[in-house]
Structure 1
Amino acid sequence: MATPSTPCSESTLTDRYQTTVPDPIRKVLGLNKRDRISYTIGSDGQVTIARIEDENNDPLLGQFLNFLAQDIQTNPQHIRQVSSDLVDRIRSLVANVNLDLDAPLTDDDE
């Protein structure tokens, strides 16, 4: 026999039928701003919420960005301003680089 679930969080619908996903739920699902979620209605009427995995999303990049965000929050003293010398050096390295982000990749690029 299945054990009935106990709600761990709740939220309120606005007049426009919108709600905020509670923090514990966002953490469990690994939700970030602009992520998409799906709702599945079971035969018993219970609704399940899940994060929609973006096929174009690189999971390693997401994990790395989450690591950076957590490190910045935990250790803000590690944040340093980028020097103008470094900015000038980067600009000089890419000054003559032309890039078309909409161009298809060649076989050599893939």
Structure 2
Amino acid sequence: MPTIHELATITSKGQITLPKPIRQALGVDVGGKVAFDLHEDGQIVVSRADAEHEDPVIGAFLDLLAKDIETGRHVQGLPDDLARAMLAHAGHKVSLGDDFDEDVEI
């Protein structure tokens, strides 16, 4: 990958805007997270923070489903047993790297 050199200005609040070529190289967009690592030699490495990647579209859809289930207004065609299972698991942290304890049909 070629070296990219960009400048950013620090605002009075200590904020910067990541230049577009840097955002594109990191693969981050609005709401994306980046990590800053300060090395002993003073070098700072900026990288995409993948540990808690959240897709805003999927997040919004899941929020919609949660609200519908909580109010009893199920999304049309959502089976009751699926709605009950989703409600029972609402708020539980899930690690996408974990193995399943049971068989899953796709």
TM-score (norm 2): 0.51
Superposed CA RMSD in Å reads 3.6
Counterpart secondary structure, 2:23: helix
Report the CA distance shift for 1:34/1:109 in structure 2 as closer, same or farther (over 3 A): farther
Counterpart secondary structure, 1:94: coil
The code of the aligned residue for 1:102 comes to A
Cα shift readout 1:8-59 (whole Å, capped 9, x = no counterpart): 111111110111111010011111222221111122211111111134x48x
**What stretches of structure 2 of length at least 5 have no aligned partner?**
59-74, 93-100
- The residue aligned with 2:48 is 51
- The residue aligned with 1:102 is 90
Cα shift readout 1:55-77 (whole Å, capped 9, x = no counterpart): 4x48xxx6xx9xxxxxxxxxxxx
Q: Is the 8 A contact 2:4 2:22 kept in 1?
A: no
**Whole-angstrom CA distance in 1 between matches of 2:4 and 2:78:** 54
Give 1 or 2 for the bigger CA radius of gyration.
1
**Whole-angstrom CA distance in 1 between matches of 2:47 and 2:33:** 9
The percentage of aligned residue pairs carrying the same residue is: 25
Runs of 4+ aligned structure 1 residues displaced above 4 Å come to: 107-110
Cα shift readout 1:68-90 (whole Å, capped 9, x = no counterpart): xxxxxxxxxxxxxxxxxxxxxx8
- Give the number of the structure with larger relative contact order, counting CA–CA contacts within 8 Å between residues 6 or more apart: 2
The code of the aligned residue for 1:16 comes to K
Q: Is the 8 A contact 2:34 2:49 kept in 1?
A: yes
The code of the aligned residue for 2:17 comes to T
Instruction: Note if 1:14 corresponds to 2:11.
Output: yes
- The residue aligned with 2:38 is 41
TM-score (norm 1): 0.49
**What stretches of structure 1 of length at least 5 have no aligned partner?**
1-5, 66-89
Q: Which moved more, 1:39-48 or 1:22-31?
A: 39-48
Report the CA distance shift for 1:95/1:7 in structure 2 as closer, same or farther (over 3 A): closer
The code of the aligned residue for 2:38 comes to I
